[in-house]
Amino acid sequence: MITPHLPALQIVVPLVAAPLCLLLRRGDLAWGLALVVSWAALAIAIMLLQAVLTGGVISYEFGDWPPPWGIEYRIDAANAFVLLIVSGISAVLLPYARASVASEIEESKHCLFYTAYLLCLTGLLGVAITGDAFNLFVFLEITSLATYVLVAMGAGRDRRALTAAFTYLVMGTIGATFFVIGVGLLYMVTGTLNMNDLAVRIADLGENRTVSVAFAFLVVGLGLKLALFPLHLWLPNAYAYAPSVVTVFIAATSTKVAVYALLRFLFTIFGLEFSVEALTLTYVFLPLAIAGMFAASTVAIFQVDMKRMLAYSSVAQLGYMVLGMSFGNVTGLTATILHLFNHALIKGGLFMALGCVVYRCGSASIDEMRGLGRQMPLTMAAFVIGGLSLIGIPLTVGFISKWYLIQGAIEAGWWPVAILIVATSLLAVLYIGRVIEVAYLQPAPEGRVVTEAPRSMLIPMWVLIVANIYFGIDASLTTSVAGTAARALIGGTP
Amino acid sequence: MTLADIPGLYNYWVVILLMMVGLYIVVSRGNLVKKIVGLVVFQTSVFLLYISMGKIIGGTAPILTGRPEIFSNPLPHVLILTAIVVGISTTALGLALVVRIGDAYGTIEEDEIAKADHEAEFGGPETP
């Protein structure tokens, strides 16, 4: 009875729970509700993914209005996978959140924090699940507005969180407005907002200047949201000054969802036959992705604040994802989708480790990391494994992503790009190695006595780290889902 | 496009003008409130874009009267109601952040905030 309504419940459950959190007024109760809701969302996402893998595409008509008039939720392997990533990270993160939030945010703001958190989760799931272009915009803005609030909550620790949130707000709004201009121009020539309907009608239109302009607006708008180099300027400060839990959540999910939205527009709606697209992929995305990989990794090496360092590393990693899609073949796209999942595991684990350091030491600067290898052995061991995975050592998920990425490059006939991918991994060795060196080989600062982080934080962190290794050794599940998703995207409707 | 089309596209010229003015204000002004104002102008231009595309000259409001009439397309207007709500939320949140920044820094000028951050981080005034 309930099964046919799972797509709606995926969104409605967290959406309804968000204001309830506010009504509960007590931080611990709000946390409990958020935890239950996140687990429920994960359960729904798993059921949806299973249903899609066995039974094909699910189409859900909201309010029984048939598409293209009503809003359609359309779930194929690609967005079912993204739903799983978002809700999975949230489900692992919330047990971790309690101690971390308690130490970084004032007691009176806890229920507000979880309200904003659930709204952010709702928006992210909504962007992933919807089959309607304008609906996607609304969810994108729900997420963004909630994220601005969450980032600004870091102000208790450092007032720069406020300016970071403000910059993010300005750039995020410009991005969203560009996106909505693009959707409007598409509506002008096609008269529809349903993604599948758009795809059919755009293909019928052929060469059309309005469609090309819409394409440009959409790419720039989503590029701002996903922090495509050089549109990433909002990202490092927002990640560095946000509360640790928020950093983990947005680093692991929000840019990924924007990447998914871009994939959906590029491959489902416009399609590779669209003439401007092939040019954009080769002459815009490919150079920007490679420039981003090198520039951001190089900047990361010189950072003092480790959260900021990982933020720049995220910009570089987003470069890998954009690079995968720029190949325009199934292998490259598989690498992109695979890296959405793998990077969420890697950065989720790494930022959780830094969250533990902030919890005990109050800051995550490189000076504070001295001697931590002995004082917080479990946290730093997790950081080392996460770091190795980021570099792409075999037996970790980072290696699987790079393997597919390099295969995609060779398949596209761009073997110099494959060499560049390996070269940027060496830059990752430098910035991760720096932390390991300081943490294990240098003595702790005089008089600092810290102990291991509480268990409620260690266990979720290690769950992600173990997942890094598990999916690095047995990648058959993730690669097959990512492969199905890539074929669903590139081959139009499966 | 011929010269005669230009007055007919009046609405779109206004849209482009407002869009560029708004974006220019966001980029060029250092005062955070003025940046928000620029953002509002920029978003408003998009409202006009949508509303203009739904309008049919001579069309009436889409109300079923039984008589054959020409209607304007109501959908873009409805979409823009949603976008206006999003725009207002963004403006409100942006202004709230400006208030908090004003409390924390004692200024809402971008360059002075950057200077304060620099001094807090490196302990001395910025050297040019």
Interface predicted TM-score (ipTM): 0.92
Give the nearest chain A residue to B85 (CA atoms): A138
Report the b/e string of B72-101 with b at 16+ CB within 10 A: beebbbebbeebeebbeebbebbeebbebb
Q: What is the pLDDT of residue A453?
A: 87
* Distance of residue B66 Cα from the nearest chain A Cα, in angstroms: 22
Question: In this structure, is residue B19 part of a structural domain?
Answer: yes
Dist CA A342 CA A467 (whole Å): 9
Say how far apart CA A224 and CA A231 lie, in whole Å: 5
In whole angstroms, how far apart are CA A277 and each of A270, A327, A343?
8, 12, 26
- The count of structural domains within chain B is 1
Chain A contacts of B79, Cβ < 8 Å? 134
Beta-bridge mates of residue A40: none
Q: Kindly state the helix (H) or strand (E) to which residue A75 belongs, with its residue range.
A: strand A72-75
Q: Categorise residue A25: left if φ over 0, alpha if ψ from -120 to 50, beta otherwise.
A: left
A369, A305 Cβ separation under 8 angstroms: no
Q: Is B101 in contact with A181 (Cβ distance < 8 A)?
A: no
CATH number of the domain enclosing B19: 1.10.287.3510
H/E stretch holding A197: helix A195-205
Q: What percent of chain B has pLDDT over 90?
A: 48
B-chain residues near A155 (CB < 8 A): 100, 104
Domain presence at residue B128: no
- In a domain, residue B94? The reply is yes
pLDDT in tens, B28-65: 989 999 999 999 999 999 999 998 888 877 777 777 77
Q: What is the sign of the dihedral through the CA atoms of A453, A454, A455 and A460?
A: negative
Cα(A296)–Cα(A309) distance, integer angstroms: 9
| Amino acid at position A304, single letter | V
Q: Computed from CA positions of residues A434, A254, A199, B70, in that sequence, does the dihedral angle turn out positive or negative? A: negative
List the alpha helices (DSSP H) in A366-475: 372-375, 377-391, 397-411, 415-441, 455-473
Residue A159 has its nearest CB partner, among B32, B79, B104, at: B104
Q: Are A128 and A75 in contact (CB under 8 A)?
A: no
CB contact under 8 A, A162 and B43: no
Angle (nearest 5°) at CA A463 between A311 and A388: 50
The tokens for A85 are: 């990533």
Tell if the CB–CB gap between B83 and A180 is shorter than 8 Å.
yes
- Given this model, what pLDDT does residue A494 score? 38
CB contact under 8 A, A173 and B39: yes
Residue of A nearest to B50 (CA): A184
Give the number of other Cβ atoms within 10 Å of residue A420's Cβ.
17
* A467 within 8 A of A345, measured Cβ to Cβ: yes
Nearest C-alpha neighbor of A350 from the set A320, A318, A384: A384
- From first to last of its 494 residues, what are the pLDDT tens digits of chain A? 577 888 899 999 999 999 999 898 888 899 999 999 999 999 999 999 999 988 888 888 888 888 888 889 999 889 899 999 999 999 999 999 999 998 888 888 899 999 999 999 999 999 999 999 999 999 999 999 999 999 999 888 888 999 999 999 999 999 999 999 999 999 999 988 999 889 888 888 877 888 999 999 999 999 999 998 889 999 999 999 999 999 999 999 999 999 999 999 998 888 877 777 778 888 889 999 999 999 999 999 999 999 999 999 999 999 999 999 898 888 999 999 999 999 999 999 999 999 999 998 888 888 888 888 888 989 999 999 999 999 988 899 999 999 999 999 999 888 899 999 989 989 999 999 999 999 999 888 887 788 888 889 999 999 999 999 999 998 888 999 999 888 888 874 43
- Which residue in chain A is spatially nearest to B33 when comparing CA positions? A166
Contacts of B94 in chain A (CB under 8 A): 166, 169-170, 173
What is the nearest CA distance from A361 to chain B, expressed in angstroms?
A: 18
CB contacts < 8 A (A, B): 68
B93 to A134: CB separation less than 8 angstroms, yes or no: no
Query: Are B35 and A152 a contacting pair at CB < 8 A?
Result: no
Domain-embedded: residue B127: no
* Sequence-ordered list of residues with C-beta below 8 angstroms from that of B122, at least 6 positions apart, any chain: none
Instruction: State which residues form the domain around B81.
Output: 5-122
End-to-end CA distance of chain A: 27
In a domain, B71, yes or no: yes
Closest CA to A303 of A445, A410, A432, A442: A432
Residue B91 in any domain: the answer is yes
Q: Tell if the CB–CB gap between B117 and A149 is shorter than 8 Å.
A: no
Distance from CA of A234 to the nearest CA of B (A): 14
CA nearest neighbour of B95 among A148, A106, A144, A238: A148
The B-side interface with A (CB below 8 A) comprises 23, 26, 32, 35, 39, 42-43, 46, 49-50, 53, 76, 79, 82-83, 86, 89-90, 93-94, 97-98, 100-101, 104-105, 113, 117
What is the distance between the alpha carbons of residues B118 and A372, in angstroms, rounded to a whole number?
Answer: 28
Which of A193, A253, A262 is closest to A224 using CA atoms?
A262
Burial of A209 (0-12, 13-18, 19+ CB in 10 A): exposed
